[in-house]
């Protein structure tokens, strides 16, 4: 019995002659009463093949395989699917795809939802090469994630060669090694088994795996594979991994540092991923300096790196207006002490950027680069030593408590003077407001509250993680005394009288 949104897997035996990775194709159409889903099987060495399927609906699904290997052709498969258990919400998709049109709004275009309609707000982190570390470090990473607030991890398939990343991994996606060379026509099943185990373990923790398919930080030649080899690799990666409900596709980390790959290449690769992915997982591409054209229809959400040394999360407002898609600032600089500017901001500043981006209607990803530790979280995983993860957890709780239909306050001529200069999330009916002051530290704040409404008001210290409810209720013209501290927020909730 297979649980809804989990993986049904059939093991088949076929030829091991020639190069089955290239020579043999295997497909199956899974059908129930009203739906048909085509999946691609794959070879995993020693004459062994697998067909996987992720049922999105309970009930009986049947399939008959098709293959150019007679031993794999016309095999009958049956998947009995039971309803999802508590906590199993399915894939993360665009909220606009999940919510019925009759109740959807423009704001839905900027947010995510699980397949069953449950709200999903990504609070990500970055562990580029954690799957390439020794097993003990992988286990430590998973334990750290288990006790953290993060629900999305940016991670590479190929190993990373860059500052503080100079050790060869124990195995690679392809057969071979650096000394003897790689056979780019054959995959190494043991590597893929380990990768899948890592993705599965993340799913057990309720964490999305933002899988980076290509990147430039390389000494092994994987970043300079030709177009044919890239496509061969991408087909195999998608055929194996698309059945995990927690997978997101990132076509590249810093695509513009791979100038030998053209826009036409990226568009071709994106179409291939869409064609091979039977379930339509989320898709994006990440930049270093030059932005990709995120208006492209294959891009479901904007995965973006800051494009200015100082202005980061503040740009969320601008990007929302340009792209009309969810904005995920997947690299807004990291807490740490590395010699590069991208990895030596304070915990206070990273926390401020998270608040700034969230209040402006976007999402952010965390990273940590403290060089005094042997394992550096941003790439290796291991342990977290920074000051902002618990503050991000506090923000995550605040955001989970916001009504689903809030949106960033739009500054118009009728907005009162005291409201225009800081970001705010609010409800259209003016029953909820959440203002964030960032590095400003006013001694007081004045407001003209909505006529006929009374509000409860709270002062939120986002760094010290405290919430202080002000006494009584407020209406009309009011003045709120503030502590002249940075990183404060004000939350107002309309009082509902029974």
- 3-state DSSP call for residue 37? strand
Contact, 160 vs 132, CB < 8 A?
yes
From residue 411, give the alpha-carbon distance in Å to each of 416, 421, 424. 9, 9, 10
Distance CA 313, CA 355 (A): 9
Residue with tokens 């030596």: 344
**β-sheet bridge partners, residue 467:** 460
Q: Answer yes or no: same fold for 2-82 and 121-400.
A: no
- 165: DSSP letter: B
Distance CA 274, CA 285 (A): 14
In the chain, where are the structural domains located?
A: 2-82, 121-400, 409-494
Q: Could you tell me the two tokens for 188? A: 């190494």
Nearest of 323, 318, 321 to residue 302 by alpha carbon = 323
Distance CA 331, CA 349 (A): 13
| Element at 267 (helix H, strand E) | helix 263-276
- What per-residue confidence (pLDDT) applies to 325? 98
Contact, 27 vs 41, CB < 8 A?
yes
- What per-residue confidence (pLDDT) applies to 419? 72
- What per-residue confidence (pLDDT) applies to 420? 81
- What per-residue confidence (pLDDT) applies to 34? 84
What are the DSSP calls for 481-492, one per residue? E--S-SSEEEEE
- 255: DSSP letter: G
- 253: DSSP letter: S
Nearest of 322, 389, 321, 309 to residue 354 by alpha carbon = 389
Output the tens digit of pLDDT for each of the chain's 498 residues.
999 999 999 999 999 999 999 999 999 999 998 899 999 999 999 999 999 999 999 999 999 999 999 999 999 999 999 999 999 999 999 999 998 776 778 999 999 999 999 999 999 999 999 999 999 999 999 999 999 999 999 999 999 999 999 999 999 999 999 999 999 999 999 999 999 999 999 999 999 999 999 999 999 999 999 999 999 999 999 999 999 999 999 999 999 999 999 999 999 999 999 999 999 999 999 999 999 999 999 999 999 998 888 889 999 999 999 999 999 999 999 999 999 999 999 999 999 999 999 999 999 999 999 999 999 999 999 999 999 999 999 999 999 999 999 999 986 655 555 578 899 999 999 999 999 999 999 999 999 999 999 999 999 999 999 999 999 999 999 999 999 999 999 999 999 765
Distance CA 227, CA 269 (A): 9
- What per-residue confidence (pLDDT) applies to 311? 87
From residue 401, give the alpha-carbon distance in Å to each of 103, 183, 392, 419, 487. 21, 52, 14, 22, 19
- What per-residue confidence (pLDDT) applies to 399? 98
> From 3.40.109.10, 3.40.50.2300, 3.40.50.300, 3.20.20.80, which CATH number describes the 121-400 domain?
3.20.20.80
CATH of domain 2-82: 2.60.40.10
Nearest of 479, 483, 481 to residue 464 by alpha carbon = 483
- What per-residue confidence (pLDDT) applies to 413? 54
Strand 124-126 versus strand 152-156 pairing type: parallel
Into which CATH architecture does domain 409-494 fall?
Sandwich (2.60)
- 3-state DSSP call for residue 26? strand
Contact, 363 vs 120, CB < 8 A?
no
From residue 220, give the alpha-carbon distance in Å to each of 146, 269, 433. 33, 21, 52
Nearest of 216, 134, 225 to residue 182 by alpha carbon = 225
Q: What is the pTM of this model?
A: 0.96
């Amino acid at each position: 019995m297979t649980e809804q949104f989990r993986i049904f897997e059939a093991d088949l035996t076929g030829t091991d002659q020639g190069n089955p990775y290239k020579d043999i194709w295997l497909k199956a159409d899974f059908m129930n009463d009203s739906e048909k889903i085509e999946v691609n099987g794959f070879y995993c060495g020693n004459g062994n093949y697998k067909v996987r399927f992720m049922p999105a609906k309970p009930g009986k699904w049947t399939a008959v395989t098709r293959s150019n290997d007679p031993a794999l052709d016309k095999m009958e498969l049956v998947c009995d699917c039971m309803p999802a258990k508590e906590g199993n919400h399915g894939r993360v998709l665009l909220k606009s795809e999940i919510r019925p049109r009759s109740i959807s709004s423009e704001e839905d275009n900027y947010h995510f939802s699980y397949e069953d309609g449950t709200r999903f707000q990504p609070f990500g982190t970055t562990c580029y090469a954690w799957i390439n570390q020794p097993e003990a470090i992988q286990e430590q990473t998973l334990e750290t994630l288990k006790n953290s607030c993060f629900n999305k991890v940016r991670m590479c398939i190929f190993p990373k060669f860059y500052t503080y990343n100079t050790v060869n991994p124990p195995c690679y996606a392809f057969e071979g090694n650096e000394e003897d060379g790689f056979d780019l026509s054959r995959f190494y099943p043991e590597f893929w088994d380990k990768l899948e185990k890592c993705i599965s373990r993340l799913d057990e923790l309720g964490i999305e795996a933002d899988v980076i398919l290509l990147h430039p930080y390389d000494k092994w030649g994987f970043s300079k594979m030709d177009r044919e080899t890239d496509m061969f690799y991408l087909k195999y990666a998608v055929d194996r991994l698309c059945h995990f409900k927690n997978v997101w596709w990132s076509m590249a980390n810093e695509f513009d540092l791979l100038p030998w790959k053209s826009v036409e290449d990226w568009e071709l690769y994106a179409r291939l991923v869409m064609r091979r992915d039977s379930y339509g997982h989320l898709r994006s591409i990440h930049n270093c300096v030059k932005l990709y054209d995120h208006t492209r229809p294959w891009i479901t959400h904007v995965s973006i790196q800051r494009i200015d040394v100082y202005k980061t999360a503040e740009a969320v407002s601008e990007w929302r207006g340009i792209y009309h898609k969810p904005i995920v600032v997947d690299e807004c600089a990291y807490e740490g002490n590395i010699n590069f500017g991208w990895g030596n901001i304070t915990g206070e500043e990273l926390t401020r950027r998270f608040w700034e981006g969230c209040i402006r209607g976007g999402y952010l990803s965390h990273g940590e680069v403290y060089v005094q530790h042997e394992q550096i979280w941003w790439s290796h995983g291991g342990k977290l030593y920074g000051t902002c993860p618990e503050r991000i957890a506090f923000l995550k709780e605040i955001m989970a408590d916001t009504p689903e239909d809030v949106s960033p306050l739009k500054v118009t001529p009728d907005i009162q003077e005291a409201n225009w200069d800081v970001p705010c999330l609010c409800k259209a009916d003016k029953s909820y407001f959440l203002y964030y002051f960032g590095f400003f530290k006013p001694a007081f704040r004045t407001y003209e509250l909505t006529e006929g409404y009374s509000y409860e008001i709270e002062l939120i210290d986002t760094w010290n993680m405290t919430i202080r409810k002000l006494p009584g209720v407020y209406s009309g013209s009011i003045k709120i005394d503030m502590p002249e501290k940075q990183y404060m927020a004000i939350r107002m909730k309309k009082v509902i009288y029974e």
